[in-house]
């Protein structure tokens, strides 16, 4: 065993003896290097070697540091399990490293809590202890390299470097051919129609505030592929649904009155469903329904199907891709 492997196998690093002194870049590099060795051994069919490297990783000081960092820096870090223990201070986090031992480890029961839902009901949620979460994170570091190099090239869920935009683009590639099956996705449109239909007495302003986040969220999700024509069709379908909504609200008003009160205004160049309301400064403003056909389409460059962060051959490609995505997000 080399000096580096001895360090990985459990010796305390010299990068700092307190939490604030830890060189996280160095820690991540050392863990990633061992993960890449696990992936390579798996690809070569050397499963015994891969298993030995996994043992080394799950017993390493660096991997335990990363596991503890992960569970103490996410949104659930302030929610304890059944034992009531949280790792808040730097000292508690350092001491927690010693508790991540395979020998004698037993999983604790989940703490059951209930989260309120929009319909007034409650959703049960099981909360593991901090130690159980950290052990899960630790063994994920050892299992993920093998999962990555053996997974289907076109699977995208819960995989590093991959996103829903990649999955959407793959669906587009599979369905855009002339001999592809024809699919019609109406889920969001039916949902919007249901909201409009089920709220006949709601204020126009409230209806717009209810619909806008849903419309923008859905459109932003699908704006990475050829969506402009579909967005225009959805806008038209929603417009028709709103026309029916206004007629139900005002059955004795004529078409001109409905148009002037809901869709036309001197400040608007085209028909646009809107409401007159007051802003924070108490001045009258026009609150408009979002038109998703106006959202800019930004084509997503799909990740290479065989790319994985655990293969050294793809490191330059993935680094370049991250930089390009960062520039796009700022642009």
Distance CA 296, CA 167 (A): 20
Integer CA distances (angstroms), 308 to 167, 312, 315, in order: 15, 9, 8
Which segment of 167-171, 220-224, 325-329 scores lowest on mean pLDDT?
325-329
Integer CA distances (angstroms), 80 to 71, 93, 111, 127, 139, in order: 11, 14, 8, 7, 21
Query: Confidence class of residue 266 from pLDDT cuts 50, 70 and 90?
Result: confident
| Intra-chain end-to-end CA distance of the chain, in Å | 49
User: What is the phi/psi pair of residue 277, to 5°?
Assistant: -145, 180
Give me the residue label for tokens 């028709």: 240
Query: Confidence class of residue 117 from pLDDT cuts 50, 70 and 90?
Result: confident
Rounded average pLDDT over 33-44: 96
Helix runs in 201-227, H state only: 204-222
Q: How many CB atoms within 10 Å of residue 153?
A: 10
pLDDT at 3 over 50: no
274-331 pLDDT, tens digit each? 999 888 888 888 999 999 999 988 888 899 999 999 999 999 999 999 998 888 777 6
248-264 pLDDT, tens digit each? 999 999 999 999 999 99
Contacts of 310 (CB under 8 A, 6+ apart): 32, 35, 36, 38, 39, 144, 145, 148, 149
78-101 pLDDT, tens digit each? 999 999 999 999 999 999 999 999
Burial class (CB in 10 A: 0-12, 13-18, 19+), 281: exposed
């Amino acid at each position: 065993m080399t000096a580096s492997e001895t360090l990985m196998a459990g010796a305390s690093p010299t990068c700092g003896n307190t939490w604030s002194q830890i060189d996280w870049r160095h820690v991540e590099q050392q863990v990633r290097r061992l993960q890449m060795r696990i992936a390579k051994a798996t690809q070569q069919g050397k499963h015994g070697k891969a298993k030995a490297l996994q043992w080394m990783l799950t017993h390493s000081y660096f991997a335990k540091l990363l596991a503890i960092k992960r569970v103490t820096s996410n949104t659930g870090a302030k929610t304890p399990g059944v034992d009531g223990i949280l790792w808040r201070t730097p000292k508690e986090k350092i001491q927690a490293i010693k508790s991540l031992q395979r020998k004698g480890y037993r999983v604790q029961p989940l703490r059951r809590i209930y989260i309120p839902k929009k319909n007034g009901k409650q959703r049960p949620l099981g909360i593991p202890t901090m130690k159980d979460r950290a052990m899960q994170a630790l063994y994920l570091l050892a299992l993920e390299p093998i999962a990555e190099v053996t997974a289907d090239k076109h699977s995208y869920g819960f995989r590093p470097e991959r996103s829903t935009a990649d999955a959407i683009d793959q669906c587009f590639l599979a369905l855009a051919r002339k001999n592809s099956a024809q699919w019609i996705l109406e889920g969001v449109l039916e949902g919007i129609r249901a909201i409009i239909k089920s709220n006949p007495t709601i204020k126009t302003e409230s209806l717009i505030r209810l619909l806008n986040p849903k419309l923008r969220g859905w459109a932003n999700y699908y704006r990475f592929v050829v969506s402009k024509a579909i967005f225009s069709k959805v806008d038209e379908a929603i417009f028709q649904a709103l026309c029916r909504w206004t007629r139900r609200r005002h059955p004795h008003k004529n078409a001109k009155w409905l148009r002037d009160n809901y869709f036309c205004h001197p400040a608007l160049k085209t028909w646009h469903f809107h409401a007159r309301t007051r802003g924070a400064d108490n001045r009258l403003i026009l609150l408009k329904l979002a038109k998703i056909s106006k959202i800019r389409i930004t084509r997503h460059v799909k990740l290479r199907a065989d790319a994985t962060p655990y293969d050294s051959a793809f490191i330059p490609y993935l680094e370049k891709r991250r930089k390009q995505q960062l520039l796009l997000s700022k642009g």
